[in-house]
Amino acid sequence: MRAMTLEEVGGPLVLRHHEVPLPGPREVRLRVEACGVCRTDLHLVDGELPDLALPIVPGHEVVGWVECVGSDVDELIPGQRVGVPWLGSTCGSCRYCRSGRENLCDAPEFTGYTRPGGFASHLVARADFCIPLGQADPATVAPLLCAGLIGWRALARVDRARTIGVYGFGAAAHLMTQIARHQGRRVLAFTRPGDLAAQDFARDHGVVWAGGSDMAAPEPLDAAIIFAPAGELVPQALRSVRKGGRVVCGGIHMSDIPSMPYRWLWEERELVSVANLTRADARAFFAEACRASVHATTRHYHLEDANQALDDLRHGRFQGAAVLVP
């Protein structure tokens, strides 16, 4: 098998060839068809995630078909197409697993971080954490497995907010906006200052306003969702939401949040984060994505060009999501 492997912090990823792995009990081996590239992969390469054990193969938006199954696998059969998301395994017994919050499990494993990921031709995954997928185009579905899901969970956290500001209009935001509009909400997009291409891209997705994140919101927001990993957006977003409004941080890593006057939080404004996703989120999201006819805008790269894809993501050189195809 081929795998783009991170061997030292800062990269680059290196192409390595290995024996095709055998699935253990309760595991399946996939032939990878496509794997999305997520900002978390950049944080990983940059050494911004704790306890990184190298070498590791990144990639947690994996679509593939089941090539063979290990022992005790009932739910999947060879030939079936599945998705493998970030949450690769949980303990099933901690307080969070027992209370429907497996995304916060005390002993989780993450695809492409603590387990091998999908920047590869093959992947072994826990069968019960694979998401059965239909016949949709693998490269178009891949970004839904993290960008789509995190957008979904972030949107759930804003409850009934009608007017939502989104900071950072990349893979997650363009998918989330489609769902939000389907639900009858209004979305305002805040991009990097001067990024007119991203603002046009946001308007193409039906946002009611698009501008730079250095601009004041043109109307009070019921809620804001921050996908960009920039801590200075937190005070800005808090100032843009009305009384009782909520600001949701959707990223796994963010630069430090600057200090700010308490009055920007006062009047029952709330600041929360979302972390990982549950399998229940995945089921609910894929059903809603189907109803809303969610479509990912993608740029395709060969697996061996993973470093180029990461670099293009870092510098905002494409709209939507990058996808590696082995």
Q: Confirm or reject binding of residue 94 to Zn ion (CB under 5 A).
A: yes
Q: Which two tokens stand for residue 179?
A: 């769902």
Q: Confirm or reject binding of residue 84 to Zn ion (CB under 5 A).
A: no
Among 32, 42, 45, 90, binds Zn ion (CB under 5 A): 90
- For residue 95, the tally of other CB atoms under 10 A from its CB is 10
Q: How far is the CB of 36 from Zn ion (least distance, A)?
A: 8
Give the integer Cα–Cα distance in Å for 208 and 142.
Answer: 27
Type of residue at 101: R
Q: Could you write out the three-class secondary structure of 242-276? A: EEEEEEEECCCCCCCCCCCCHHHCCCCCEEEECCC
Q: Which two tokens stand for residue 239?
A: 């100032």
Q: Which two tokens stand for residue 185?
A: 């909400």
Site for Zn ion in 206-265 (CB under 5 A): none
Q: How far is the CB of 12 from Zn ion (least distance, A)?
A: 20
Among 27, 30, 33, 40, binds Zn ion (CB under 5 A): 40
Pick 103 or 236: Cβ nearer Zn ion = 103
Q: How far is the CB of 220 from Zn ion (least distance, A)?
A: 31
Q: Confirm or reject binding of residue 38 to Zn ion (CB under 5 A).
A: yes
- Closest-CA residue to 130 (of 143, 145, 116, 144): 145
Q: Which two tokens stand for residue 258?
A: 């600057």
Pick 15 or 91: Cβ nearer Zn ion = 91
Q: Which stretch binds Zn ion (CB under 5 A): 22-30, 89-97, 278-286, 296-304?
A: 89-97
Type of residue at 286: F
- DSSP for 210-231 reads EEETTSPPSS-EEEEEE-SS-T
Q: Confirm or reject binding of residue 111 to Zn ion (CB under 5 A).
A: no
Q: Confirm or reject binding of residue 105 to Zn ion (CB under 5 A).
A: yes
Q: Which stretch binds Zn ion (CB under 5 A): 19-27, 102-110, 126-134, 263-271?
A: 102-110
Phi, psi at residue 171, to the nearest 5°? -60, -50
Q: Which stretch binds Zn ion (CB under 5 A): 2-10, 36-44, 228-236, 315-323?
A: 36-44
Pick 68 or 94: Cβ nearer Zn ion = 94
Give the integer Cα–Cα distance in Å for 209 and 239.
Answer: 18
Q: Using CB under 5 A as the criterion, which residues of the chain lie in contact with Zn ion when the complex forms?
A: 38, 40, 90-91, 94, 97, 105, 146
